[in-house]
């Protein structure tokens, strides 16, 4: 297996390897090119191009350049490194600053802290200062070394294989997460990479592209990536408008109950029925409910040529007027009465993508077939591993997200393509790619009382396997192929 990262350039802007090895700060990047290519690829995947980026501990500027910011600022305590960065990347902004005394009067979309927190004597103080350059939508990306590597890296420094660091904290994840929490940040997800930081033929590819993915082996990886966000302010529910999108096909007997049971939430609640060519009188029943309830904001749209629940959800979200968007399945197996719990979690900042879970409380008899239950639990474990955030139930129909975040997902949908007839994974994968905080709200799953399910156990089970492979290839594996 050929490692694609080995072909990536490291030195740019006219700086030769000979110049770099004459004592300037770039020499260590040249000597450890394979490792730095990995580091660049991790951040390039995590941070979308075209954002405002601050890199604390920027060294020679290569990593800041790699993420392609529309506006980039790098700070480092080493004047020689900053001078070299300014020479190599004149379109970026570099400053000599001690992170403990950071003085920047602007905010950034993304903040990079790459393998430098161990060199800070007061990590919490620096995190406190960093909080002042964030907005509610900012993301903090921190990579740090696994403390199990302490002896190996110290030996490498003594052998002149890596730069000597005079001061080094070896912090486990729990300590880093706690320090972030004390400074007003919330950890979104973590991941780990690079079991072998030297390009030993065959062995490097085996370790870094296969073994580093597997449970047990992952604890030996050199680099941990942690993504965090500022703790959000609480939003008053009374000032939030909500759009409830109800995809439906042949659900005539559930329409009246849906209108009756969907609660009024926030300052305004609109109900959008999206009909998928029903043949049982569903459309006529929706129209009847609209006339019978002029006090409620109920709308009907048609899928027309579209097919599947995923298409219905996208069409409903496209015309929704609410600040918060939520899906309510027309079969009512996930009770509409639970929707205020989703809104409460969103308004309190518990999460940015609120996913329902049917697998917390005991299921009512006949609510879910046994094999479906087992498959859902297995897929929950699988997708938790694939996506780096906890998913107990990926296929619960009830999901909530803000319009702003949904529009970001829609704008980047081409990364995965139009692959999902359910709509669940389009939103889940998109939320992960946008580094949104995911949280699950339990719902009491109930048996269907009208009609029959539109899901085929085996056909859609096979589709779930294909989606798992897509998530592995696009999310888990791509990080190793940039």
Q: Which tens digit of pLDDT belongs to each residue from 304-348? A: 887 888 899 999 999 999 999 999 999 998 899 999 999 999 999
Cβ atoms of 106 and 133 within 8 Å: the answer is yes
Q: What is the pLDDT of residue 147?
A: 87
Q: What is the pLDDT of residue 29?
A: 85
Give the number of other Cβ atoms within 10 Å of residue 410's Cβ: 14
Q: Where are the domains of the chain?
A: 4-230, 237-246+319-480
Cβ atoms of 11 and 20 within 8 Å: the answer is yes
Report the alpha-carbon distance of residue 317 to residue 244 in Å, rounded: 9
Instruction: Give me the CATH code for the 237-246+319-480 domain, please.
Output: 3.90.550
* 438 DSSP β-pair partners: 353
Q: What is the pLDDT of residue 412?
A: 85
List phi, psi (to 5°) of 383: -75, -25
Q: What is the pLDDT of residue 454?
A: 55
* 195 DSSP β-pair partners: none
Q: How confident is the model over 7-28, as pLDDT tens digits? A: 344 444 444 444 444 456 788 8
* 85 DSSP β-pair partners: none
Q: What is the pLDDT of residue 392?
A: 78
Give the global pTM.
0.84
Report the alpha-carbon distance of residue 377 to residue 13 in Å, rounded: 51
CATH 3.40.640.10 given to domain 4-230:
no
Q: What is the pLDDT of residue 151?
A: 87
* 273 DSSP β-pair partners: 246, 300
Give the number of other Cβ atoms within 10 Å of residue 155's Cβ: 11
Q: How confident is the model over 122-141, as pLDDT tens digits? A: 999 999 999 999 999 999 99
Mean pLDDT by 10 residues, the chain (482 residues): 38 46 69 91 92 96 96 95 94 96 96 92 95 96 91 84 76 92 95 92 91 89 95 92 96 94 96 94 96 96 87 95 96 93 96 87 55 67 78 84 94 75 82 92 76 58 74 65 40
Report the alpha-carbon distance of residue 427 to residue 467 in Å, rounded: 13
Q: What is the pLDDT of residue 5?
A: 41
Q: Regarding beta strands 268-275 and 324-327, do their DSSP bridges make them parallel or antiparallel, or are they unpaired? A: unpaired
Equal CATH topology for 4-230 and 237-246+319-480: no
Q: What is the pLDDT of residue 18?
A: 47
Q: What is the pLDDT of residue 95?
A: 96
**What is the separation of C-alpha 233 from the centre of its chain, rounded to a whole number of angstroms?**
20
């Amino acid at each position: 297996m050929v490692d694609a990262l080995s072909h990536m350039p490291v030195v740019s802007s006219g700086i030769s390897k000979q110049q770099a090895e004459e004592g300037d700060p770039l020499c260590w990047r040249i000597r450890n090119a394979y490792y730095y290519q990995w580091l660049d690829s991790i951040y390039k995947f995590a941070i979308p191009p075209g954002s405002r980026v601050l890199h604390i501990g920027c060294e020679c500027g290569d990593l800041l350049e790699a993420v392609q910011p529309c506006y980039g600022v790098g700070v480092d305590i080493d004047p020689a490194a900053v001078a070299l960065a300014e020479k190599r990347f004149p379109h970026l902004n570099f400053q000599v600053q001690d992170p403990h005394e950071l003085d920047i009067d602007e905010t950034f979309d993304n903040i990079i802290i790459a393998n430098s927190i161990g060199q800070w004597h007061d990590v919490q103080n620096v995190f406190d200062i960093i909080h002042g350059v964030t907005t509610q939508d900012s993301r903090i990306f921190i990579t740090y070394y696994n403390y199990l590597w302490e002896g190996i890296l110290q030996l490498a420094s003594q052998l002149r294989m890596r730069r000597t660091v005079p001061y080094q904290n070896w912090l486990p994840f729990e300590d880093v997460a706690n320090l972030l929490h004390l400074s007003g940040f919330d950890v979104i997800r973590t991941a780990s990479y690079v079991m072998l930081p030297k390009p030993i033929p065959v062995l490097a590819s085996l370790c870094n592209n296969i073994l580093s993915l597997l449970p047990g082996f992952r604890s030996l990886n050199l680099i941990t990536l942690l993504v965090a966000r500022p703790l959000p302010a609480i939003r008053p529910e009374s000032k939030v408008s909500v759009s409830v999108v109800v995809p439906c096909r042949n659900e005539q007997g559930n329409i009246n109950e849906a209108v009756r049971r969907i609660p009024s939430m926030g300052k305004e609640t609109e109900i959008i029925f999206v009909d998928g060519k029903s043949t049982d009188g569903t459309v006529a029943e929706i129209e009847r409910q609209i006339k019978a309830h002029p006090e409620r904001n109920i709308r009907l749209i048609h899928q027309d040529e579209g097919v599947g629940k995923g298409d219905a959800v996208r069409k409903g979200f496209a015309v929704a007027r609410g600040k918060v968007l939520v899906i309510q399945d027309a079969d009512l197996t996930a009770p509409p009465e639970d929707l205020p719990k989703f809104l409460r979690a969103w308004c309190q900042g518990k999460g940015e993508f609120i996913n329902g879970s049917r697998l917390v409380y005991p299921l009512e008899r006949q609510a879910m077939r046994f094999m479906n239950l087992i498959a859902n639990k297995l897929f929950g474990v699988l997708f938790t591993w694939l996506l780096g955030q906890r998913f107990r139930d990926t296929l619960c129909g009830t999901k909530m997200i803000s319009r702003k975040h949904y529009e970001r997902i829609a704008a980047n949908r081409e990364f995965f393509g139009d692959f999902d007839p359910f709509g669940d994974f389009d939103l889940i994968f998109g939320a992960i790619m946008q580094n949104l905080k995911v949280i699950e709200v339990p719902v009491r799953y109930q048996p269907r009382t009208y009609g029959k399910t539109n899901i085929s156990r085996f056909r859609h089970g096979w589709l779930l396997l294909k989606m798992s492979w897509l998530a592995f290839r696009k999310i888990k594996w791509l990080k190793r192929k940039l």
